[in-house]
Amino acid sequence: MKFFLKCNEAAEVCDKSQYKEASLLNIIMLKMHLLMCKLCRSHSKRNTKLTNAINSANIKTLQAEEKQSIKTRLQQETNNEQQS
């Protein structure tokens, strides 16, 4: 079993850990890697800032029915324009 991550593996674990998908062992290995790698440490900080910004944005999305309604209206408008 290896205990040191390559940078590309560290980036993947970093992403997973922010979405609570990384195992405890992977998180520990990531922390060890971040202690030694300035580039990955910088990536991790930027990734954390981005995640926090997205979470605090309070983004609202459309319901499935609303999306379907818009899609139907667009298709009708497209068909009307093609027939004209």
Q: What is the pLDDT of residue 81?
A: 82
DSSP string, 12-81: HHHHHHHTT-S-HHHHHHHHHHHHH-HHHHHHHHHHHHHHHHHHHT------HHHHHHHHHHHHHHHHHH
Q: Is the pLDDT of residue 1 over 70?
A: no
Least confident of 7-11, 48-52, 61-65, 79-83: 79-83
Q: What is the pLDDT of residue 44?
A: 95
How sure is the predictor about 80, in pLDDT bands with cuts at 50, 70 and 90?
Answer: confident
> Where do the structural domains in the chain lie, given as residue ranges?
7-83
